[in-house]
Amino acid sequence: MIPVVRRANWLPGILNDFYLRHEFSHSSFRQVMVLPDNVDVGNIKARVEDGVLQIEIPKVVKEEKAQPVRSIDIF
């Protein structure tokens, strides 16, 4: 499983001669993705670029067994 979590806080305020005003905002995001068995967990890479999350999840390369060579004797 890959958990994706995002948290954000926003606390702008205005200071004036007569009053002090604060606005508060809080948000969070969480998503969990279940990965299949053919994923190479050790080589997962993630990066954030211009606000876009890019996740690279490579598959495990299975070694194919060599097919036995079949020969037909012709008389």
pLDDT above 80 (res 40): yes
Of 51, 35, 48, 37, give the one whose Cα is nearest residue 3: 35
For 60, phi then psi, to 5°, come to -75, 130
User: Which residue in this structure is represented by tokens 């598959």?
Assistant: 59
pLDDT value at residue 15: 62
Per DSSP, 18 falls in state S
Does residue 60 contact residue 50 with C-beta atoms inside 8 Å? Answer: no
pLDDT value at residue 70: 83
pLDDT value at residue 16: 66
pLDDT value at residue 20: 64
Predicted TM-score of the model (pTM): 0.45
Of 57, 49, 58, give the one whose Cα is nearest residue 33: 57
